[in-house]
Amino acid sequence: MFTPARKKLLLAVLVLSFGVQTGLVYSDERSEPLSEAAREGRALWQAYACQTCHQFYGQGGFLGPDLTNAASRVDSTRLVSLLTVGSGQMPPLGFSDVESAAMAAFLREMDRPEIGRGELRMGTPGEGAGARAAFERAVEAAIEAAAGRGEAGGTGPARATDQDPAEVAAGFAAYRIRPCSACHFPFRDSPVGAPDLSLVAGSAGSLAPDSLDQVLAEGRPLMGMPPPVPPLDAADRAALTAFLRFLAENRAQLEAATEVLAADRRLDWGALPWWEFP
Protein backbone atom coordinates (compact mmCIF):
# COMPACT_ATOMS: atom_id res chain seq x y z
CA MET A 1 0.00 0.00 0.00
CA PHE A 2 1.03 3.56 -0.60
CA THR A 3 1.82 5.64 2.44
CA PRO A 4 0.56 9.25 2.53
CA ALA A 5 4.07 10.43 1.72
CA ARG A 6 4.31 8.16 -1.33
CA LYS A 7 0.86 9.28 -2.52
CA LYS A 8 1.99 12.87 -2.33
CA LEU A 9 5.17 12.00 -4.21
CA LEU A 10 3.19 10.19 -6.92
CA LEU A 11 0.80 13.12 -7.27
CA ALA A 12 3.74 15.51 -7.52
CA VAL A 13 5.31 13.37 -10.28
CA LEU A 14 2.02 13.31 -12.20
CA VAL A 15 1.63 17.09 -11.91
CA LEU A 16 5.24 17.61 -12.96
CA SER A 17 4.80 15.26 -15.93
CA PHE A 18 1.71 17.14 -17.03
CA GLY A 19 3.57 20.43 -16.76
CA VAL A 20 6.51 19.13 -18.80
CA GLN A 21 4.18 17.73 -21.46
CA THR A 22 2.30 21.03 -21.68
CA GLY A 23 5.56 22.91 -22.06
CA LEU A 24 6.77 20.62 -24.82
CA VAL A 25 3.50 20.84 -26.74
CA TYR A 26 3.33 24.62 -26.68
CA SER A 27 7.02 25.12 -27.34
CA ASP A 28 6.89 23.17 -30.63
CA GLU A 29 7.83 25.13 -33.71
CA ARG A 30 4.64 26.54 -35.16
CA SER A 31 3.74 26.84 -38.81
CA GLU A 32 3.65 30.36 -40.19
CA PRO A 33 0.19 31.88 -39.70
CA LEU A 34 -2.04 32.66 -42.65
CA SER A 35 -2.21 36.16 -44.05
CA GLU A 36 -5.35 38.21 -43.48
CA ALA A 37 -6.60 37.48 -47.01
CA ALA A 38 -5.98 33.75 -46.57
CA ARG A 39 -7.80 33.78 -43.22
CA GLU A 40 -10.82 35.26 -45.00
CA GLY A 41 -10.56 32.43 -47.52
CA ARG A 42 -10.34 29.89 -44.69
CA ALA A 43 -13.51 31.34 -43.18
CA LEU A 44 -15.25 30.83 -46.53
CA TRP A 45 -13.84 27.29 -46.75
CA GLN A 46 -15.33 26.48 -43.35
CA ALA A 47 -18.60 28.37 -43.89
CA TYR A 48 -19.32 26.47 -47.10
CA ALA A 49 -18.13 23.14 -45.60
CA CYS A 50 -15.71 22.61 -48.49
CA GLN A 51 -13.93 19.89 -46.48
CA THR A 52 -17.03 17.71 -46.91
CA CYS A 53 -15.96 17.03 -50.51
CA HIS A 54 -12.34 18.21 -50.74
CA GLN A 55 -9.13 17.36 -48.92
CA PHE A 56 -6.01 19.11 -47.68
CA TYR A 57 -3.11 16.73 -46.95
CA GLY A 58 -5.42 13.74 -46.67
CA GLN A 59 -7.93 15.49 -44.35
CA GLY A 60 -11.45 15.85 -45.74
CA GLY A 61 -13.89 14.23 -48.14
CA PHE A 62 -13.40 12.21 -51.29
CA LEU A 63 -16.22 13.37 -53.55
CA GLY A 64 -14.27 16.28 -55.06
CA PRO A 65 -10.63 16.70 -56.11
CA ASP A 66 -7.86 17.02 -53.53
CA LEU A 67 -7.11 20.76 -53.24
CA THR A 68 -3.76 20.55 -51.44
CA ASN A 69 -1.88 21.78 -54.51
CA ALA A 70 -4.76 23.41 -56.36
CA ALA A 71 -2.99 26.78 -56.43
CA SER A 72 -0.18 25.42 -58.59
CA ARG A 73 -2.40 23.62 -61.11
CA VAL A 74 -5.64 25.64 -61.41
CA ASP A 75 -5.36 29.03 -63.10
CA SER A 76 -7.26 32.07 -61.85
CA THR A 77 -9.86 31.99 -64.63
CA ARG A 78 -10.74 28.38 -63.90
CA LEU A 79 -10.87 29.01 -60.14
CA VAL A 80 -13.25 31.96 -60.52
CA SER A 81 -15.46 29.86 -62.80
CA LEU A 82 -15.60 27.04 -60.25
CA LEU A 83 -16.42 29.38 -57.38
CA THR A 84 -19.15 31.21 -59.26
CA VAL A 85 -20.93 28.85 -61.66
CA GLY A 86 -19.62 25.50 -60.39
CA SER A 87 -18.80 22.46 -62.51
CA GLY A 88 -20.32 18.99 -62.69
CA GLN A 89 -21.17 17.90 -59.14
CA MET A 90 -19.84 21.13 -57.64
CA PRO A 91 -22.72 23.57 -57.10
CA PRO A 92 -22.53 27.25 -58.07
CA LEU A 93 -21.44 29.25 -55.03
CA GLY A 94 -21.81 32.69 -56.56
CA PHE A 95 -18.60 34.05 -55.04
CA SER A 96 -17.87 37.74 -55.52
CA ASP A 97 -14.50 38.90 -56.86
CA VAL A 98 -13.40 39.68 -53.30
CA GLU A 99 -14.42 36.23 -52.05
CA SER A 100 -12.74 34.51 -55.01
CA ALA A 101 -9.51 36.43 -54.29
CA ALA A 102 -9.67 35.40 -50.63
CA MET A 103 -10.15 31.74 -51.51
CA ALA A 104 -7.28 31.97 -54.02
CA ALA A 105 -5.03 33.37 -51.26
CA PHE A 106 -6.04 30.54 -48.92
CA LEU A 107 -5.34 27.86 -51.52
CA ARG A 108 -2.03 29.49 -52.40
CA GLU A 109 -0.80 29.54 -48.80
CA MET A 110 -1.96 25.96 -48.18
CA ASP A 111 -0.01 24.74 -51.23
CA ARG A 112 3.26 23.77 -49.53
CA PRO A 113 5.04 21.03 -51.50
CA GLU A 114 7.88 20.95 -48.96
CA ILE A 115 5.37 19.32 -46.58
CA GLY A 116 3.52 17.00 -48.92
CA ARG A 117 1.33 16.83 -51.97
CA GLY A 118 -2.29 16.14 -52.70
CA GLU A 119 -3.71 12.63 -52.17
CA LEU A 120 -0.98 12.21 -49.57
CA ARG A 121 1.64 12.86 -52.26
CA MET A 122 4.35 12.19 -49.78
CA GLY A 123 8.00 13.05 -50.15
CA THR A 124 9.64 15.03 -52.92
CA PRO A 125 7.81 15.63 -56.22
CA GLY A 126 9.83 12.83 -57.80
CA GLU A 127 9.21 10.07 -55.32
CA GLY A 128 6.65 8.71 -52.94
CA ALA A 129 3.73 10.38 -54.71
CA GLY A 130 0.09 9.39 -54.61
CA ALA A 131 -1.33 7.74 -57.72
CA ARG A 132 -2.33 10.89 -59.57
CA ALA A 133 0.72 12.88 -58.50
CA ALA A 134 2.97 9.99 -59.52
CA PHE A 135 1.19 9.84 -62.88
CA GLU A 136 1.87 13.55 -63.44
CA ARG A 137 5.54 13.18 -62.48
CA ALA A 138 5.91 10.21 -64.85
CA VAL A 139 4.33 12.12 -67.71
CA GLU A 140 6.52 15.17 -67.10
CA ALA A 141 9.65 13.00 -67.14
CA ALA A 142 8.55 11.24 -70.33
CA ILE A 143 7.85 14.54 -72.11
CA GLU A 144 11.24 15.89 -71.03
CA ALA A 145 12.90 12.71 -72.29
CA ALA A 146 11.06 13.01 -75.60
CA ALA A 147 12.16 16.61 -75.98
CA GLY A 148 15.76 15.63 -75.19
CA ARG A 149 15.74 12.88 -77.79
CA GLY A 150 14.28 15.27 -80.31
CA GLU A 151 17.03 17.83 -79.72
CA ALA A 152 19.64 15.11 -80.05
CA GLY A 153 17.99 13.68 -83.15
CA GLY A 154 17.44 10.33 -81.44
CA THR A 155 14.53 7.97 -81.19
CA GLY A 156 13.10 5.78 -78.46
CA PRO A 157 9.90 4.74 -76.76
CA ALA A 158 8.95 8.33 -76.01
CA ARG A 159 9.66 9.37 -79.62
CA ALA A 160 7.78 6.59 -81.35
CA THR A 161 5.88 9.13 -83.48
CA ASP A 162 6.54 12.53 -84.99
CA GLN A 163 4.57 14.31 -82.28
CA ASP A 164 6.03 17.58 -81.11
CA PRO A 165 6.93 17.29 -77.39
CA ALA A 166 6.02 20.96 -76.98
CA GLU A 167 2.51 20.27 -78.27
CA VAL A 168 2.23 17.22 -76.00
CA ALA A 169 3.33 19.39 -73.05
CA ALA A 170 0.71 22.01 -73.99
CA GLY A 171 -1.93 19.28 -74.07
CA PHE A 172 -0.80 18.02 -70.67
CA ALA A 173 -1.07 21.56 -69.29
CA ALA A 174 -4.60 21.85 -70.71
CA TYR A 175 -5.46 18.56 -68.99
CA ARG A 176 -4.05 19.66 -65.62
CA ILE A 177 -5.82 23.03 -65.34
CA ARG A 178 -9.20 21.35 -65.87
CA PRO A 179 -10.83 18.93 -63.41
CA CYS A 180 -10.22 15.92 -65.68
CA SER A 181 -8.57 13.97 -62.86
CA ALA A 182 -11.69 14.33 -60.72
CA CYS A 183 -13.29 11.61 -62.88
CA HIS A 184 -10.52 9.98 -64.91
CA PHE A 185 -8.03 7.75 -63.07
CA PRO A 186 -4.57 6.83 -64.43
CA PHE A 187 -4.55 3.53 -66.36
CA ARG A 188 -7.96 2.28 -65.23
CA ASP A 189 -11.64 3.12 -65.44
CA SER A 190 -12.86 5.16 -62.51
CA PRO A 191 -15.68 4.14 -60.13
CA VAL A 192 -17.96 6.71 -61.80
CA GLY A 193 -17.42 5.08 -65.20
CA ALA A 194 -14.98 7.59 -66.69
CA PRO A 195 -12.71 5.75 -69.15
CA ASP A 196 -8.97 5.25 -68.99
CA LEU A 197 -7.67 8.19 -71.05
CA SER A 198 -4.65 6.20 -72.25
CA LEU A 199 -7.04 4.02 -74.29
CA VAL A 200 -9.12 6.64 -76.08
CA ALA A 201 -6.71 7.94 -78.76
CA GLY A 202 -4.11 6.58 -81.16
CA SER A 203 -4.37 3.84 -83.74
CA ALA A 204 -6.08 1.43 -81.32
CA GLY A 205 -8.06 4.07 -79.42
CA SER A 206 -11.74 3.80 -78.63
CA LEU A 207 -12.55 7.13 -80.31
CA ALA A 208 -11.95 8.14 -83.92
CA PRO A 209 -10.21 11.53 -84.33
CA ASP A 210 -13.42 13.35 -85.29
CA SER A 211 -15.35 11.83 -82.37
CA LEU A 212 -12.55 12.67 -79.94
CA ASP A 213 -12.47 16.29 -81.15
CA GLN A 214 -16.23 16.53 -80.68
CA VAL A 215 -16.01 15.15 -77.14
CA LEU A 216 -13.26 17.63 -76.27
CA ALA A 217 -15.37 20.47 -77.65
CA GLU A 218 -18.81 19.54 -76.30
CA GLY A 219 -18.32 16.83 -73.69
CA ARG A 220 -20.82 13.99 -73.40
CA PRO A 221 -23.58 15.44 -71.20
CA LEU A 222 -25.89 12.45 -71.66
CA MET A 223 -23.12 10.17 -70.35
CA GLY A 224 -22.20 12.39 -67.40
CA MET A 225 -19.28 14.30 -68.96
CA PRO A 226 -19.88 18.09 -69.01
CA PRO A 227 -18.26 20.36 -71.62
CA PRO A 228 -14.69 21.26 -70.61
CA VAL A 229 -14.30 24.39 -68.50
CA PRO A 230 -12.55 26.56 -69.52
CA PRO A 231 -13.61 25.65 -73.09
CA LEU A 232 -11.01 24.17 -75.43
CA ASP A 233 -10.38 26.05 -78.64
CA ALA A 234 -9.08 24.32 -81.78
CA ALA A 235 -5.43 24.69 -80.74
CA ASP A 236 -6.17 23.38 -77.24
CA ARG A 237 -8.03 20.37 -78.66
CA ALA A 238 -5.18 19.57 -81.04
CA ALA A 239 -2.67 19.76 -78.18
CA LEU A 240 -4.83 17.64 -75.88
CA THR A 241 -5.28 15.07 -78.65
CA ALA A 242 -1.49 14.93 -79.03
CA PHE A 243 -1.19 14.34 -75.28
CA LEU A 244 -3.77 11.52 -75.36
CA ARG A 245 -1.95 9.88 -78.29
CA PHE A 246 1.27 10.19 -76.31
CA LEU A 247 -0.41 8.40 -73.39
CA ALA A 248 -1.63 5.62 -75.66
CA GLU A 249 1.72 5.07 -77.36
CA ASN A 250 3.70 5.08 -74.12
CA ARG A 251 1.14 3.48 -71.84
CA ALA A 252 3.26 0.56 -70.61
CA GLN A 253 6.29 2.71 -69.77
CA LEU A 254 4.20 5.41 -68.09
CA GLU A 255 2.22 2.90 -66.03
CA ALA A 256 5.42 1.25 -64.79
CA ALA A 257 6.97 4.62 -63.91
CA THR A 258 3.81 5.66 -62.07
CA GLU A 259 3.90 2.52 -59.94
CA VAL A 260 7.53 3.16 -58.99
CA LEU A 261 6.87 6.79 -58.05
CA ALA A 262 3.78 5.88 -56.02
CA ALA A 263 5.68 3.39 -53.85
CA ASP A 264 7.11 4.07 -50.38
CA ARG A 265 5.02 7.16 -49.67
CA ARG A 266 6.19 9.54 -46.97
CA LEU A 267 4.91 12.76 -45.44
CA ASP A 268 6.41 15.28 -43.02
CA TRP A 269 3.65 14.98 -40.43
CA GLY A 270 5.37 17.38 -38.06
CA ALA A 271 5.19 20.20 -40.58
CA LEU A 272 1.50 19.79 -41.42
CA PRO A 273 -0.54 22.97 -40.76
CA TRP A 274 -2.72 21.36 -38.12
CA TRP A 275 -4.07 24.77 -37.14
CA GLU A 276 -6.16 24.53 -40.32
CA PHE A 277 -8.00 21.31 -39.50
CA PRO A 278 -10.85 21.83 -37.03
The last residue of one of the domains, among 83, 112, 141, is 112
Kindly write down the DSSP assignment for every residue of 202-259, as one continuous string: STT-SS-HHHHHHHHHH-BGGGTBPPPSSPP-HHHHHHHHHHHHHHHHTHHHHHHHHH
CB 122 within 8 A of CB 267: yes
Domain extent, residue 233, equals 132-261
Whether the predicted model's global pTM rises above the 0.75 cut: no
17-31, 32-46, 202-216, 218-232: range with lowest mean pLDDT = 17-31
- Identify whether residues 172 and 59 lie together within a single domain: no
Tally the domains of the chain: 2
CB 116 within 8 A of CB 107: no
Which residues 6+ apart lie within 8 Å of 183 measured at CB?
88, 190, 192, 194, 225
Mean pLDDT in residue range 165-180: 88
In a domain, 31, yes or no: no
98-156 confidence digits (pLDDT tens): 999 999 999 998 888 766 666 544 444 444 446 677 888 899 999 999 888 766 555 44
Mean pLDDT in residue range 156-165: 59
- Identify whether residues 189 and 234 lie together within a single domain: yes
- Residues present in the chain in total: 278
- Identify whether residues 144 and 217 lie together within a single domain: yes
Dist. CA 221–CA 219, nearest whole Å: 6
Split at pLDDT 50, 70, 90, the class of 25 is low
Q: What residue spans of 115-164 are helical by DSSP H?
A: 131-152
**Residue 186 burial (C-beta neighbours within 10 Å; 0-12, 13-18, 19+):** buried
CATH of the domain at 251: 1.10.760
Q: Who has greater pLDDT, 243 or 259? A: 243
In a domain, 87, yes or no: yes
- Identify whether residues 90 and 138 lie together within a single domain: no
